[in-house]
Amino acid sequence: MADNNLLLDVRDLKIGATIQVPGEKPYDIEIVHGVSFTLEKGKVLGLIGESGAGKSTIGLSSMAYGRGSVEITGGEVWLDGEQILGHSHDQIRKVRGRKVAYVSQSAAASFNPAHRLGDQVIEAAMEHGLSSRSEAKAFADHLFAKLGLPDPDNFGRRYPHQVSGGQLQRAMTAMALCSKPDLIVFDEPTTALDVTTQIDVLAAIKDAIHDTGTAALYITHDLAVVAQISDDIMVLRNGEMVEYGSVDQIINNPQEDYTKSLVSVRSILKEEGGELDAEPVLNCRNITASYSNSIRVLHDVSMHLHKGQTLAIVGESGSGKSTMARVITGLLPQETGDIYFKGQQLPRELKQRSKEELRSLQMIYQMADTAMNPRQTIGQIIGRPIEFYFGVTGREKRKQVIELLKKIELDENFYDRYPAELSGGQKQRVCIARALAAKPDLIICDEVTSALDPLVADGILKLLLKLQKETGVAYLFITHDIATVRAISDSIAVMYMGKLVRFGPKSQVLEPPFDDYTDLLLSSVPEMELGWLENVLKHRKMESAGH
Amino acid sequence: MLSNPLIRMIAQRLALGIVLLFAISLVIFIGTEMLPGDVAQSILGQSATEQSLANLREELGLNQPAYVRYLDWVGGILQGDLGTSLTNKQDIGSMIGTRLGNTFFLASVAAVMSVPLAVLLGMIAVHYKDGFIDKAISMSTLGAISLPEFFIGYLLIYFVAVQLGWFPSNALVHSGMSLMEKLYAVALPATTLTLVVLAHMMRMTRAAILNVMSSAYVETAELKGLSSFKIIFHHAFPNAIAPIITVVMLNLGYLVVGVVVVEVIFVYPGMGQLMVDHVIKRDMPVVQACGLIFAATYILLNMTADILAIIANPRLRHPK
């Protein structure tokens, strides 16, 4: 190698996979079509793209690893002067965990539940004979402290289920760093975390790789996150490189249309609704609810929502926002408090509610996949509520379904197709149509865009707003994503630990003066500017010093 | 103490086991009551007269109502007295004692042979998944389980005992023998039992490990560069252990309870033979005692499986 600083040199990488549809002959497809990039020692390259862009697959190829039926079919991967694709199984074992380490999206699933964290963290170093057990343990404790884990000397004695998700993600970073690799592949390490946790983990990762001089491939779908941590960024789409350049160039001066659309995503903004009917569609008064009579998950929560408007309930996992939806739908009857729907008191339990009440309150779920019967056609799925609530059958039903399909911007051909043939965004559209088919007054949207790529999610949000304008339906929008809240809501309820922290029209809730939690939540949302992370952390330090 | 969920769950299992045992004692008693035939008739045989039958029934306590006899029986058992045999007037406890020891001895030898072998073969099969070795292991163990045990027994007797002369064809053991002599004597029946239970345990081990092989933590282990056997043994096996334990315990239960045929073939003085003999003689107290002991063994083993599976779960062993 001419360049001594060059660590990873990927040339014309091609990756294929075998698709096996039950009952059909397996066939091969190519998922990465000739991608090349280089990475110098101690640098961070961000790989960014939507799902299916091939970014994780490319990241894992630097360890010569293919998940499931994925196989590297062409090209070269030079790691520190060695072409690792030609390595035998035993040779590649000496690269994995020693020269390259991997941090996955879900640390909770990636730690073995049967072993203590400490043993797992030092395992790679032990396996490769890099240090003695006591040395490795001392280094692991050092890393735990560096990554800001509580009680670092004893942290390793705990089991995965005994620590939180954010702590596990840090522990996994420690596990990767422990064998002092040259390169770490971070595969969406903060995506599964709450936004207030994400910022700390992000800062910890950034510090740790900076201090140890480890190079990194940082894979994410969130451009704002990768802008905080990378030196260079490669934008990928459908297994091909779209754009490759320095962070500054990609964020501030994107050349390709696709990159521009990623940078400018969330262009939607709903104007806050003005005139309000005297009576809200939904009015929840002092709701208290518990699971199995012991753990109280909602404490005295009140909120209301008017016709044709969107109320966004925002909060982190465990805040009680989904529980609120379960109470409103009657799945979890509240202990105390009342719910008024269109002025009438709503029975607590689902069983006591009339068909009319059921019809006018519909739901859309996060996972469109699991919310549809895979053995029914789209026509049957959307037609079911039409038949059930209005008794419409035959040709008239078909006509109404096709009208609904037009409303969700899908054509007539979808009528006879099955959910499995649709993309994620299309499936969610079908779920929206099914909810609309009942002609409801209120639709509860539970994280409906969380599982979707940003551009697809944007399309769904636009559709929801359009439909709201046409039909005057109200949305109760449950989400953890502040950007979505900004985009579509009229009023906002901020929840934290089962309590309502803040409630009011969007303009009031998102404007200072803030309470402590809302401030923390809003300032934790990554922004697409260089140095944002440092600024926020500096700001927080000054604030806490001032207190 | 009971605030620890682990101890509470184990205590629950124990209590449940005791309740179950009482329920089973009732079922056994009712079952033997319903059996046709009359012990007095079978003792006296052809020479029975009306009078002598009545006298004998009086003597044996057969004229008392069923619930009195049941309470007598259970009360005796609670004090460690299994009653006396109707046919030969011996104390059932001492009659069963040596036989039960023999049965447990044979079962233990078969277990010590079969359990580690099954787990090991299961792991090897996972390592060579879908390859020749995997298929060979599956085919041969399946073949062994498909043959009736008496057939395997006779095959072993013919080839290993008669042709090669390595081991004796009858497995007579008595208290005067040393451990090595006993092991030598039971080699063939233990091998027969091993072949019978191996496939079940091996296949469950394979399936349970394969089930966790697709989990993210196995991928993590692979990306650490660990060797394949270390991944299977250290990372997959501990998480697959609960279903394996269940199947192992079921098979251990079979080794104790289901060995009648093997005992008969190899003339082994165990519980199975004893029970069959006394069913023929209509000697109900002996049959009841055997049944209760078998049931207790089954319950104990399954309870052990439950408890071990609970202990194997790190979430319960190390609460938050």
User: Helix-strand-coil percent breakdown of chain A, rounded to 5?
Assistant: 40, 25, 35
What is the structure's pLDDT at A3?
Answer: 61
Q: Are A72 and A44 in contact (CB under 8 A)?
A: no
Residues A270 and A394 in one domain: no
Percent of chain B with pLDDT over 70: 93
Chain B interface disruption, residue of A89, A103, A112, most B CBs within 10 A: A112
Query: How many CA atoms, within 13 angstroms, populate the side-chain half-sphere of residue A205?
Result: 35
Sign for the CA dihedral angle at A399, A401, A407, A408 comes to negative
Distance CA A224, CA A228 (A): 7
A contacts of B315 (beta carbons < 8 Å): 113, 159, 161
B contacts of A111 (beta carbons < 8 Å): 217, 220
What is the structure's pLDDT at B315?
Answer: 81
A contacts of B222 (beta carbons < 8 Å): 65, 96
* Nearest chain A residue (CA) to B314: A114
Distances in Å between the Cα of A151 and the Cα atoms of A141, A143, A159, A204, B81 are 9, 12, 14, 16, 59
Inside any domain, residue B3 = no
Inside any domain, residue B113 = yes
Q: Are A127 and A94 in contact (CB under 8 A)?
A: no
pLDDT at A274 over 70: no
Domain end call among A438, A459, A475: A438
What is the structure's pLDDT at A167?
Answer: 87
Instruction: Check CB contact under 8 Å for A104 and B230.
Output: no
What is the structure's pLDDT at A1?
Answer: 44
Q: Rounded to a whole number, what is the distance in Å from the CA of A179 to chain B's nearest CA?
A: 10
Q: Which of A195-204, B173-182, B205-214 has the lowest mean pLDDT?
A: B173-182
Residues A292 and A350 in one domain: yes
- Type of residue at A43: K
Q: Could you tell me the two tokens for A420?
A: 């499995």
Q: Which of A89-103, A214-228, B138-152 has the lowest mean pLDDT?
A: B138-152
pLDDT at A480 over 90: no
What is the structure's pLDDT at A222?
Answer: 84
Percent of chain B with pLDDT over 90: 8
Residues A242 and A311 in one domain: no
A contacts of B238 (beta carbons < 8 Å): 112, 114-115
Q: Are A97 and B225 in contact (CB under 8 A)?
A: yes
Instruction: Check CB contact under 8 Å for A102 and B220.
Output: yes
Instruction: Check CB contact under 8 Å for A97 and B225.
Output: yes
Percent of chain A with pLDDT over 70: 96
Distance CA A497, CA B232 (A): 41
What is the structure's pLDDT at A293?
Answer: 61
For chain A, what is the mean pLDDT?
88
Residues A472 and A404 in one domain: no
A contacts of B224 (beta carbons < 8 Å): 96-97, 101, 123-124, 127
Distance CA B84, CA B92 (A): 5
Digit-coded pLDDT (tens) for A164-214: 888 888 899 899 989 889 999 999 888 878 888 888 888 888 888 888 889
- Type of residue at A427: K
Inside any domain, residue A521 = no
Strands A232-237 and A240-246: antiparallel
Residues of A with CB under 8 A from a CB of B: 63, 65, 67, 92-98, 101-102, 104, 106, 109-115, 123-124, 127-128, 158-159, 161-162
Distance CA B43, CA A296 (A): 71
Nearest to B224 among A104, A115, A123 (CB): A123
- Residue A425 domain boundaries: 373-438
Distance CA A181, CA A81 (A): 15
Q: Could you tell me the two tokens for B283?
A: 């000697």
Chain A interface disruption, residue of B209, B218, B223, most A CBs within 10 A: B223
What is the structure's pLDDT at A122?
Answer: 92
Instruction: Check CB contact under 8 Å for A128 and B215.
Output: no
Residues A82 and A214 in one domain: yes
For chain B, what is the mean pLDDT?
82
Rg of chain A taking only CA atoms, in angstroms:
25
User: Cβ–Cβ contacts within 10 Å for residue B53, how many?
Assistant: 16
Percent of chain A with pLDDT over 90: 38
Distance CA B172, CA B174 (A): 7
pLDDT at B43 over 80: no
State the CATH number of the domain containing residue B265. 1.10.3720.10
pLDDT at B139 over 70: yes
Q: Rounded to a whole number, what is the distance in Å from the CA of A432 to chain B's nearest CA?
A: 33
Inside any domain, residue B296 = no
Inside any domain, residue A524 = no
pLDDT at A266 over 70: no
Q: Are A492 and A312 in contact (CB under 8 A)?
A: yes
Strands A44-48 and A215-220: parallel
pLDDT at A473 over 70: yes
Distance CA B126, CA B128 (A): 5
Nearest to B318 among A65, A93, A162 (CB): A162
Distances in Å between the Cα of B4 and the Cα atoms of A293, B7, B242 are 21, 6, 21
Nearest to A102 among B217, B223, B239 (CB): B223
Residues A25 and A50 in one domain: yes
- At A477, the pLDDT band (50, 70, 90 cuts) reads very high
Q: Rounded to a whole number, what is the distance in Å from the CA of A197 to chain B's nearest CA?
A: 20
- Type of residue at A229: I
Q: What's the mean pLDDT in A506-531?
A: 86
Answer with the residue of higher pLDDT: B87 or B151.
B151
Digit-coded pLDDT (tens) for A122-131: 999 988 888 8
pLDDT at A2 over 70: no
Q: How far is CA A476 from the centre of its chain?
A: 20
Residues A401 and A506 in one domain: no
- At A10, the pLDDT band (50, 70, 90 cuts) reads very high
Nearest to B314 among A97, A101, A161 (CB): A161
Q: What's the mean pLDDT in A292-298?
A: 77
Question: If you count residue pairs, one on A and one on B, with CB atoms under 8 Å apart, how many are there?
Answer: 75
Domain end call among A438, A457, A483: A438
Instruction: Check CB contact under 8 Å for B216 and A106.
Output: yes
What is the structure's pLDDT at B32?
Answer: 77
Q: What's the mean pLDDT in B46-73?
A: 76
Q: What's the mean pLDDT in A322-333?
A: 90
Inside any domain, residue B168 = yes
Nearest to B225 among A67, A96, A106 (CB): A96
Inside any domain, residue B141 = yes
Residues A258 and A166 in one domain: yes
Nearest to A128 among B215, B225, B235 (CB): B225
Inside any domain, residue A396 = yes
Q: Are B56 and B43 in contact (CB under 8 A)?
A: yes
Instruction: Check CB contact under 8 Å for A112 and B315.
Output: no
Inside any domain, residue B73 = no
State the CATH number of the domain containing residue A326. 3.40.50.300
pLDDT at A394 over 80: yes
Domain total for chain A?
Answer: 3
pLDDT at B145 over 90: no
Nearest to B318 among A104, A106, A159 (CB): A159
Distance CA B17, CA B227 (A): 42
- At B1, the pLDDT band (50, 70, 90 cuts) reads very low
**Where in A358-412 does DSSP place strands (E)?**
361-364
Inside any domain, residue A536 = no
Answer with the residue of higher pLDDT: A234 or B31.
A234
What ipTM score was computed for the predicted complex, to two decimals?
A: 0.77
Distances in Å between the Cα of A33 and the Cα atoms of A221, A280, B67 are 19, 54, 82
DSSP 8-state assignment for residue A429:
H
Q: Are A306 and A523 in contact (CB under 8 A)?
A: no
Q: Rounded to a whole number, what is the distance in Å from the CA of A172 to chain B's nearest CA?
A: 10
